[in-house]
Structure 1
Amino acid sequence: MKTRLLPLPLLLLALHTGAETVEVGRFSAADLEGWHSKSFVGHSRYELRRDAGQLVLHASSRSAASGLYREIEIDLDRTPLLAWSWKVANLIDTPDERSKAGDDYPARIYVVFSGGLAFWRTRAINYVWSSRQPAGSEWPNAFAANARMIAVRGGSADVGQWVHECRDVRADYRRLFAAEPGPVDAVALMTDTDNTGLEASAWYGDIRFESDDGDCP
């Protein structure tokens, strides 16, 4: 999926078009309603801050893995495109992100699909800023058999820059799981360093789902 670099004000403007949209994270409006914390190991820190003149969500982690999640139902037949912006301050010196010892990321966004009563079928796509894998790489999550990883960004080329991303979640699900997706049940974000014991810092801009005619590159 093609991506492009934009100044932060243009990133936020690009997320406000006439296409059908579902707002997931409105950090620029200081809105954290519906977002909840989930800790796996310790606590990463999340707080609203200004960066480049805009209000965004800042995340920092030191030997910790906790994230923020929002339960929200998304019909991918209506709004299949996930758009967001993010920036990382540093990469993580991980041995291998495909292993449990190296499953740390300066920034990641989860899209969660529930199996309903068949809870063991719960699936997730992790869109990550990878420290080791090249952009476009895909692999199974080291801890969860039903989760798949996609390196949207890879390496140091864009570190310290705001980047606008857009993914066709419906198409990604079909390719990764060889099945049709049901509705999205939750979206989460996490900056985590519990496995490597290192530090990472990242910023997240607004997050939304858009229809096929949305303003995605």
Structure 2
Amino acid sequence: MHYLFHPLRAFMKKIAGLILLPLSMGWAHAADIPPFSQMQPGAAVTGWAPVRPSAKAPDTIYTLVRDDDRTVLKAEADKSMSVLAHTIRVDLKKTPLLRWRWKISGPVKSADMTKKSGDDYAGRVYVLFDYPVDKLSFATRAKLKLGEAIYGQKIPTAALNYVWDNRQPIGTLQANTYTDRARMLVIESGSDKAGQWVTETRDVAADFRAAFGEDAPDVVVVAVATDTDNTGEQVTAWYGDLQFLAR
């Protein structure tokens, strides 16, 4: 994908621009991530905001469907990229564990997380943090300041991406190819579990320390995304409820 003012556009697309919604809209309690299982198939997804980082890419289609005897979120990507995000405030000292279920039709075959052109995933769960701006480099602060001036909204300053990759080994942890403010952590890989529901439980506080080398600040956004805008492929994923838990 080509970008106007590439450094900012790229930064906004893959970390900050994912969540271009007001972070001051009011925080939900940690237990209040709206559960898909309590919604009706075919109804609107309530409590989650659609985010469209790129005007050029079509939207990933998110719908509520019945699967495995409960309502889940279905994501259908066709050369597309958009996100569903929920604004929240989570103190990871109290509830550091994030649990969810997901399923994919298959991995994005031509994806390559080491290249910008391959930055696509069948399944992705974002966790964004309230990281102090004054701890960032001057260049990163300048990008944030410009982005906030353009969009009129506060932009998160650190993110973990839990991804279902196509080739990298489980446990791979690296910076996103667009910005080191987003770290990618492979927790499922390949097609062996395609078509199966898989339950994940991650210690977000521990993962943040492994990724950034310091204690985790509060979580301010959680989001899900299935995207194929770089590779031009088609893939489908399903997401179950997400919940923060105490150890």
**Class of the TM-score when normalised by the shorter of the 2 chains:** 0.7 to 0.9
Q: Structure 1 pair 106/95, CA: closer, same or farther in 2 (3 Å)? A: closer
Which one has the largest radius of gyration? 2
Q: SS of the counterpart of 1:160?
A: coil
Quick one: distance in 2 between partners of 1:98 and 1:210? 32
Match in the other structure for 2:76: 60
Give the alignment's TM-score, normalised by structure 2.
0.74
Matches within 5 A, 1:101-180: 101-115=117-131, 118=134, 120=144, 122-180=157-215
Match in the other structure for 1:82: 98
Q: What is the aligned counterpart of 1:197 among 227, 232, 247? A: 232
Moved over 2 A (4+): 31-34, 114-121
After superposition, what is the alpha-carbon deviation per residue over 1:174-202, rounded to whole angstroms, capped at 9, x for unaligned?
11101111100000100000000111100
Q: SS of the counterpart of 1:176?
A: helix
Quick one: distance in 1 between partners of 2:48 and 2:102? 18
Alignment RMSD, CA only? 1.8
Compute the displacement of 1:29 (Å).
Answer: 0.2
Please tell me the residue identity of whatever aligns with 1:56.
V
Q: SS of the counterpart of 2:211?
A: helix
Matches within 5 A, 1:20-99: 22-30=31-39, 32-40=45-53, 41-99=57-115
Please tell me the residue identity of whatever aligns with 2:35.
R
- Normalized per residue, which structure has more strand? 1
Match in the other structure for 2:15: none
Quick one: distance in 1 between partners of 2:218 and 2:74? 28
Q: SS of the counterpart of 1:206?
A: coil
Give the alignment's TM-score, normalised by structure 1.
0.84
Quick one: distance in 2 between partners of 1:25 and 1:171? 24
Q: Give the unaligned 5+ runs of structure 2.
A: 1-29, 135-140, 145-155
Are the aligned partners of 1:80 and 1:170 in contact in 2 as well (CA < 8 Å)? yes
After superposition, what is the alpha-carbon deviation per residue over 1:39-72, rounded to whole angstroms, capped at 9, x for unaligned?
1232000000001211100000101110100110
Compute the displacement of 1:38 (Å).
Answer: 0.7
- Normalized per residue, which structure has more helix? 2
Q: SS of the counterpart of 1:143?
A: coil
Please tell me the residue identity of whatever aligns with 1:38.
V
Quick one: distance in 1 between partners of 2:32 and 2:192? 29
Quick one: distance in 1 between partners of 2:202 and 2:133? 28
Q: SS of the counterpart of 1:93?
A: coil
Q: What is the aligned counterpart of 2:219 among 159, 184, 193? A: 184
Q: SS of the counterpart of 2:217?
A: coil
Q: Give the unaligned 5+ runs of structure 1.
A: 1-20, 213-217
Are the aligned partners of 1:23 and 1:207 in contact in 2 as well (CA < 8 Å)? no
More contact order relative to length (CA 8 Å, sep ≥ 6): 1
Quick one: distance in 2 between partners of 1:92 and 1:138? 19
The number of equivalent residue pairs is: 193
Quick one: distance in 2 between partners of 1:127 and 1:96? 15
